[in-house]
Amino acid sequence: MTAGGGPVPEEEPTRPRRRVGPYEASLQESAHQAEVAHRARMRAARRRHALIAAVTVVALVAVGFVGWRLLTPAAPPTSVPATAAAPVSCTDATAVTIAAAPAVAPVLAALAETLSKEASGPCAAFTIEPVESFTVSGTVGTAAEPDAWVTDSAEWIARAGTLAGREITVPEPFASTGVVVALPVPAAEEIGDQAKWSAAITSRTPVRVPDPARYAVGAAALASAAGGLPPDRVAAVAQANASAPAPGLGAVAEAATPLGVVVTAAQLLAHNESNDARALAAVAPVDGAAFLGYRLVTLTDKAEVAELVADFAAYLTTEEAKTAFSEAGFATPGGPEPQMPSPLYGTVTDRPAPDAAALKAVRAAWAAATPKRQTLLALDVSGSMLRRTDQGTRLAVMQEATLQAIAGMPGSSRLGLWAYSLHIGKQGDDFRPLLNAAPVGHSSHLLDLRKQVGGLTRSVGGGRGLYDTIVATYQRARATYTKGQLNSVVIVTDGLNDDDYGASLSVALSRVKKLVDPRNPIRITIVGFGSEPDAKAMTPFAQLTGGRYVNAAEPKDLLPTLRGVLGG
């Protein structure tokens, strides 16, 4: 088992080594101004080609969209539409949700939209949702499970099957992309095109690496680097990175001091194509790293939906799709050479899957360096949670968001769970403890959390003893306080306190205040779901304890809010 609770990765099929993309000449340009000028010339040429192509399409309509695509490379898509494109092939389309690794989600969404415009296309409205693969692997077998899943590693498929207690077929990858370090041009020039991973991530410019227990790109880079670093240097790298999530490319580009981050080549290509003024260079270490292979996994047990997923999978292997993937920086079996980010220092090369022992050591060092959290999460199951939203009942939205947020938490995080509504407890209390805190990386505890969250439907009803619950959870957190960890209470509520016979606001605040110990802090974070919670009443609890009140006004806001407060 890994530090994140999953098995060590299965070996990826070895893919052909890839040559550098069409911007190889730029590797010889050492001056930043020369690179900017080169990029400007390329974009100007692309605009001229696009204009010529557009005129050709107008004159020769029969040639169609595919002919236009052959005349000029398209800029890779960088975003995912919020709603699925309605297919022209029918009027009563079946909704199909596909959770996809964020790096490949934009091009998948663009292909789904293209497919929807084909008269003979499937009668499906494909919604592509960008979700980290590790997170999805923790939700398979729950209410948060999507119809299908595009993952970036076979390891997550194995983890999903273990947690769900079922065998999941591991298909061959339909696309893959390499791993690089994104840096400002001067920093990349300093590292050069002959550095190994061990040197690249320990250079004078700090390089941030994603958690190798939760991100395949981090696992690939660190496993490659580990062979060239002694254990104490591996521990130092983990210590420098584990305290906070790796920054996005935008943050790296805007950093006041030079900074780098490990990403896929496709992600950096997309960033550069849409951010001329904030473009970054790529360093591809000479020892290479395992490519991330993208697989489409069918999860639904509905035959009609599974057939539509199969139709989409078949479309992803067409020449049109392969061209789109190559333009977005992905290699495909038998497809065109992928575009590469520019400037590129080195050659993006594939290597076998990370050595199991090396990856285990890296993850152990990371787990040891990760700040530990202990959180007591209390969920509202009062009757108002049955009110409907455009995404189902409030309860259903909360359950799905909670399952996803928990699934994405670091394995070392300890989480306890309560539910609350009037007189839900065994002795008439307004709260019911469900699970004591334990690491979510322990499969047994994660399975218990999934079961309890999924079973909240059986407990819903009645009013809301909110103030008594705040006091009781804080008392429990104080009694189980663990030194050296970030101790906190997180309470989700969709309304006001309904208990006229319980503690008043002033009494509850007074009781919490008596429990506050600045030397052993426990923060209260209250998440107001919808428009009914009283921020004025909730904020003082947060202020007393160094926490905060957060409002998730719409159903779509709840998941990112929970991820933020739970550290996922």
Examine the pLDDT at 13 and tell me if it is beyond 50: no
Angle at 463 between CA 457 and CA 466, to 5 degrees: 100
Cα separation, 153 vs 101, in Å, equals 10
Q: What are the backbone angles phi and psi of residue 125, rounded to the nearest 5°?
A: -105, 100
Examine the pLDDT at 133 and tell me if it is beyond 50: yes
The single-letter code of the amino acid at 424 is I
Strand order in the sheet with 292-298: 124-130, 94-100, 148-151, 292-298, 175-177
Cα separation, 78 vs 104, in Å, equals 9
The mean per-residue pLDDT over the stretch 185-209 comes to 96
Instruction: Take residue 107 and report the two structure tokens written for it.
Output: 């091009």
pLDDT band at 8 (very low <50, low <70, confident <90, very high): very low
Instruction: Take residue 444 and report the two structure tokens written for it.
Output: 């047994």
The mean per-residue pLDDT over the stretch 154-168 comes to 96
Cα separation, 401 vs 558, in Å, equals 6
Examine the pLDDT at 6 and tell me if it is beyond 50: no
Q: Which residues pair with 297 in a beta bridge?
A: 149
pLDDT at 210 (0 to 100): 96
What is the number of alpha carbons within 13 Å of residue 513 lying toward its C-beta?
Answer: 8
What is the number of alpha carbons within 13 Å of residue 448 lying toward its C-beta?
Answer: 16
Q: Which residues contact 292 (CB under 8 A, 6 or more apart)?
A: 101, 103, 152, 153, 176, 177, 178, 179, 216, 217, 220, 264
Examine the pLDDT at 68 and tell me if it is beyond 60: no
Where are the chain's structural domains?
A: 23-72, 179-291, 370-566
The full length of the chain comes to 568
Instruction: Take residue 276 and report the two structure tokens written for it.
Output: 């001329």
The per-residue pLDDT for range 465-475, each reduced to its tens digit, is 999 999 999 99
Cα separation, 504 vs 470, in Å, equals 11
pLDDT band at 464 (very low <50, low <70, confident <90, very high): very high
Cα separation, 429 vs 252, in Å, equals 50
pLDDT at 73 (0 to 100): 57
The per-residue pLDDT for range 390-437, each reduced to its tens digit, is 999 999 999 999 999 999 999 999 999 999 999 999 888 999 999 999
Tell me the CATH class for 370-566.
alpha beta
Mean pLDDT rounded to a whole number for the chain = 88
pTM comes to: 0.84
The single-letter code of the amino acid at 512 is V
